[in-house]
Amino acid sequence: MSGPAASSAATGLQRPSALPPVSDADLDRGARELIDTCLAVTAADRVLVIADEPTRGLAERIVAAASRVAADSRLLLVPGLDDDYPAAFAAIAAAITGDRPSVTAFAARDGDDRLAWDERFWALLDGVGARHAQLTALDRPSLGIGLAADYREVARFSELVRARLTGAATAEVRNALGTEIRFALDPARPWTAFTGLYHAPGEGGRLPQGEVFCSPTGADGVIAASVLGYPFNASTGLLAEPVRFEVRGGRLVGLEHPDAGLAARLREWFDRDEHAGRIGEFAVGTNRACTALSGNLLFDENVPGCHIAFGHPFGDYTGAHWHSEVHVDLVVERPTITVDGAPLLVDGRYPDPVPADWSPE
Count of all residues that appear for the chain in the document: 361
Confidence of residue 360 (pLDDT cuts 50, 70, 90): low
Mark residue 341 as left, alpha or beta (left: phi above 0; alpha: psi -120 to 50; beta: remaining). Answer: left
68 lies in the same domain as 196: no
**E strand or H helix that includes residue 104:** strand 103-106
293 lies in the same domain as 203: yes
How far apart are the C-alpha atoms of 37 and 237, rounded to whole Å?
Answer: 29
User: In this structure, are strands 72-77 and 103-106 parallel, antiparallel, or unpaired?
Assistant: unpaired
- Please identify, among 94, 121, 146, the residue that sits at the C-terminal boundary of a domain: 146
How far apart are the C-alpha atoms of 58 and 95, rounded to whole Å?
Answer: 20
Dihedral pair phi/psi, residue 18, rounded to 5°: -95, 10
Strand partners, 251: 248, 278
Number of domains in the chain: 2
138 lies in the same domain as 172: no
- Please identify, among 88, 118, 146, the residue that sits at the C-terminal boundary of a domain: 146
User: In this structure, are strands 131-134 and 72-77 parallel, antiparallel, or unpaired?
Assistant: unpaired
99 lies in the same domain as 180: no
What CATH number did the domain enclosing 8 receive?
3.40.50
Q: What is the mean pLDDT of residues 7-17?
A: 66
197 lies in the same domain as 335: yes
Mark residue 340 as left, alpha or beta (left: phi above 0; alpha: psi -120 to 50; beta: remaining). Answer: left
- Strands of the sheet with 204-206, listed across from one edge: 72-77, 46-51, 103-106, 131-134, 204-206
**E strand or H helix that includes residue 165:** helix 151-165
- Please identify, among 86, 111, 146, the residue that sits at the C-terminal boundary of a domain: 146
Q: For 88-110, how does the pLDDT look when each residue is reduced to its tens digit (9 = 90+)?
A: 999 999 999 999 999 999 999 99
Q: For 248-276, how does the pLDDT look when each residue is reduced to its tens digit (9 = 90+)?
A: 999 999 999 999 999 999 999 999 999 99
Return the pLDDT at 338. Answer: 98
165 lies in the same domain as 62: no
Q: CA-CA-CA-CA torsion for 240, 241, 242, 244, nearest 10 degrees? A: -170
122 lies in the same domain as 156: no
Percent of the chain with pLDDT over 70: 96
Return the pLDDT at 2. Answer: 28
- Assign 264 to helix, strand or coil: helix
Confidence of residue 356 (pLDDT cuts 50, 70, 90): confident
35 lies in the same domain as 99: yes
**Helix pair angle (24-33, 56-67), 10° resolution:** 50
CA distances from 337 to 78, 325, 347 (A): 42, 29, 8
Positive or negative torsion for Cα 296, 158, 326, 201: positive
Return the pLDDT at 1. Answer: 23
CA distances from 305 to 4, 12, 29 (A): 27, 25, 25
Between 3-17, 265-279, 295-309, the lowest mean confidence (pLDDT) is in 3-17
Q: What is the mean pLDDT of residues 222-243?
A: 97
Return the pLDDT at 10. Answer: 34
Confidence of residue 11 (pLDDT cuts 50, 70, 90): very low
CA 39 to chain centroid, in Å, comes to 17
Confidence of residue 358 (pLDDT cuts 50, 70, 90): confident
| Residue 182 one-letter amino acid | R
160 lies in the same domain as 275: yes
How far apart are the C-alpha atoms of 85 and 83, rounded to whole Å?
Answer: 6
CB 148 within 8 A of CB 33: yes
Counting runs of H as helices and runs of E as strands, what totals does the chain give?
11, 17
Return the pLDDT at 359. Answer: 75
CB 78 within 8 A of CB 56: no
77 lies in the same domain as 131: yes
310 lies in the same domain as 198: yes
User: What is the DSSP secondary structure assignment for residue 358, as one 8-state letter?
Assistant: G
19 lies in the same domain as 167: no
How far apart are the C-alpha atoms of 125 and 170, rounded to whole Å?
Answer: 38
- The domain in which residue 67 lies consists of 3-146
Residue that wins the pLDDT comparison between 9 and 29: 29
Return the pLDDT at 41. Answer: 98
